[in-house]
Amino acid sequence: MNNAGTNASGARLRRKRRFKQNIPWLLMFLPVVAFFLIFKYAPMVGLIIAFKQYTFFEGVWGSKWVGFDNFRLLFLDPSAFRTIRNTLVLSVLGITITFPFPIALAILFNEVRQLAFKKTAQTLLYLPHFLSWVVVGGLVVTMFSEDGGIVNHLWQSITGHTYPFLYKEGSWIAIFIGSGIWKSAGFGAIIYLAALTTIDPSLYEAAAMDGASKWRKIWHITLPGIRPTIVLMMILSVGNVLEVGFDQIYNLQNSVVSNVSEVISTYIFRVGLQGAQFSLTTAMGLFESLVGLVLVLAMNAVARRFKQGLW
């Protein structure tokens, strides 16, 4: 009993000492906690609007409770169904096509030995991330414009006529995906570059002594070394499968290609803010969040089978 009491007392003292040592870190963490509580969790109370017939005059709590009527109306609306389909298609294309680019860039940067060239290339590829989508969208629209765009100028010199790249659904989707890669791939490579620094250099030396080629080293050492980071980023990407950025879509879309460019974020802006149908668009936003949650849990369950899960 005395030994048990002594051990318990010692454990309490160690916890108390550890707590005192971590007080500065806990104080630094408080603003982060406050940010999430105020700006992330507190607004979730407003999701109750999805189950009400919300009006400005009656407010959130005074508005009439309608249960799942907004969800039924949402899924009976053909335009809402098309919006969800477009969001899903663009997101899946974005994940499957865009996701490998930061990994490839990080591996290429890691293999470059000329420091001056490496720094220059990294700067040029990181730069688009810091440009607003208003600027990037303007550049893309100008480049692919049918009247005076540089791409159409080259196309006309080859084929003898211009092509409405921004007004054809197939080419618009290609431009949308391509502009997203150009803007985000370089900066996204930073995460994988950080992961590459954790790989033991002696593994590469041993592989070189065994006569392994550059591709063999990448396949058997580099990719397995950053696998946990790849899985983490994939899980986060899958969680956002129904979230297509408003800025990019809004700056690139036009009425001609609205059949493929109308997504949840622009639907909420058009129907919710401009059309004042707040309950309907809140239901859409809640549906989007629930789908993202389910996909994250499912993806993590799959990753956990390979011992790569987040929890």
Global pTM reads: 0.82
pLDDT at 179: 92
Going from the C-alpha of 172 to that of each of 141, 144, 149, 162, the distances in angstroms are 11, 10, 15, 15
**CA–CA separation, 122 vs 129, rounded Å?**
12
Nearest alpha carbon to residue 194 among 95, 304, 129, 102:
102
pLDDT at 33: 93
pLDDT at 6: 66
pLDDT at 30: 92
C-alpha of 293 from chain center? 14
**Is CATH 1.10.3720.10 the classification given to domain 71-305?**
yes
Nearest alpha carbon to residue 235 among 280, 299, 169:
299
Are 276 and 125 within 8 A, CB to CB? no
Are 132 and 235 within 8 A, CB to CB? no
Are 270 and 97 within 8 A, CB to CB? no
**CA–CA separation, 183 vs 129, rounded Å?**
5
CA 275, 277, 278, 284 dihedral sign is negative
Q: Which residues of 110-131 are buried (b: 16+ CB within 10 A; e: fewer)?
A: beeeeeeeeeebbeebeebeee
pLDDT at 7: 67
pLDDT at 102: 93
**CA–CA separation, 196 vs 72, rounded Å?**
48
3-state DSSP call for residue 65? strand
Residues of the chain with CATH 1.10.3720.10: 71-305
pLDDT at 273: 83
User: pLDDT tens digits, the chain, 311 residues: what are they?
Assistant: 456 556 667 778 888 888 888 888 889 989 999 999 999 889 888 889 999 998 888 888 888 999 899 999 888 888 888 888 898 888 888 888 889 999 999 999 988 888 888 889 888 889 999 999 999 999 999 999 988 889 999 998 898 888 999 999 999 999 999 999 999 898 889 999 999 988 988 988 898 888 888 889 999 899 999 988 898 888 888 877 777 778 899 999 888 998 999 998 888 888 888 888 889 889 988 888 888 888 888 888 877 876 766 67
Contacts of 306 (CB under 8 A, 6+ apart): 231
Could you tell me what percentage of the chain is helix, strand and coil, using 3-state DSSP and rounding each to the nearest 5? 80, 0, 20
Are 250 and 269 within 8 A, CB to CB? yes
pLDDT at 77: 83
3-state DSSP call for residue 245? coil
